[in-house]
Amino acid sequence: MLAFAVMRPWGWAEAVVAVPAAAVLIGTGAVPVHQAAAETARLGPVVGFLAAVLVLAHLCDAEGLFRACGDWMARAAAAKPRRLLVQVFVTAALITAVLSLDATVVLLTPVVFATAARVGVRPKPHVYACTHLSNTGSLLLPVSNLTNLLAYAASGLSFTRFAALMGLPWLVAIATEYAVFRRFFATDLGAGAPPPGAGQPPERPVFALATVAGTLIGFVVASAFGVPPAWVAAAGALVLAARALPGRGTSPLAVVRAAALPFLLFVLALGVVVRAVVDNGLARALDDLIPSGAGLLGLLGTAAVAAVLANVINNLPAVLVLLPLAAPAGSGAVLAVLLGVNIGPNLTYAGSLATLLWRRVMRAHRTEVDLGEFTRLGLLTVPASLVLAVVALWVSLRVIGG
């Protein structure tokens, strides 16, 4: 399934292999029907949220939010590559946290390409930042990533406490990534750039910004009443749809495509397949590897196992496998798993589905990604970011409490 998702021969959707694979496992008894149904029901709210937030991000794009971000980055950079890198880091981190990592990969990366061309700088450091920040930048909120939603449900934390505990690790991981990027891409960032040309700034997307802000407030309020975040995201998407569909840059068909229904089927099928793998030996194999303590060393060990597993079987299956094993140790261990599966995927192509999507965007812009360069950058960023983020989580747990 993962190999097919990486290669996607003939442009076929990931679900083409995933759904039959899940059906075969159910038919052969590797996973009983009732367990497959239970796993699907558990993933249902997560998949519903993903569909809603993808539509929300698409409608924000139709409202001009991403074009406005590109214009802001270009003007603030003032033709200075290092300054543009700062703008990209800030923008990508915030968009990932609020609109999920898919928005950063699919919608922001093309904007960054266009912005780099407009400013006249080399695009590589800035577009690489999009893929790294789509993973690392998704640590902050329960709604920033599918893995976060699963960890949020297992942690027993409120929306605000989750964000409070992950705030410091989020900042530390991003700052570490930025420091490595400045050194790794020193040659590209040191290249000169011509003065930016004057242009008419795009219309400010006030309505889109207000809707996104209202959706964020809705997440906090809904959490207090036990309402799933999928309903809040759907409400935000409906508000934007009511304004955008009468002819403001989108159509009903485009909205349906934005929901990525084949990809949602892939996620559900992946959950069933992982359930079969876990029940048939993987859980026993991993049980001895997960530290039982909730101290700093235990958190470091848990995060390391999660990071390695994310690069072996992808981060979504990894979090499905590890959460039941880490949850008995408390919310700190659950959040350590989240650090591993969100930061770890920056090491390899197959670590997260976001990276796979990013590679397709790069190819669409006729830019090939060098495997050696990508891996070297990952080896420099992932261990340092992961260790420092775990230390920051340990500090947050001691100060705020889990």
Higher model confidence: residue 177 or residue 245? 177
pLDDT reading at 58 higher than 90: no
Only one residue has tokens 């590589």, namely 124
Task: Express each pLDDT in 360-371 by its tens digit.
Answer: 778 767 777 888
C-alpha to C-alpha distance for 310 and 317, rounded to whole angstroms: 8
* Tokens, residue 143: 């709604």
* Tokens, residue 379: 């080896």
C-alpha to C-alpha distance for 233 and 241, rounded to whole angstroms: 12
Which residues, 6+ apart, have CB-to-CB distance to 148 below 8 Å? 138, 139, 141, 142, 338, 342
Only one residue has tokens 């497959």, namely 36
> Measuring CA to CA, how many Å separate 378 from each of 115, 318, 363?
25, 19, 20
Domain range annotation of the chain? 34-190+199-400
Task: Express each pLDDT in 5-40 by its tens digit.
Answer: 767 788 788 889 999 999 999 999 999 999 999 989
**pTM for this entry:** 0.82
**The pLDDT value given to residue 201:** 65
346 within 8 A of 131, measured Cβ to Cβ: yes
C-alpha to C-alpha distance for 103 and 138, rounded to whole angstroms: 11
Instruction: Please name which of 38, 13, 35, 52 lies closest in space to residue 229, comparing C-alpha atoms.
Output: 52
Residue type, 298: G
Higher model confidence: residue 207 or residue 285? 207
**The pLDDT value given to residue 386:** 97
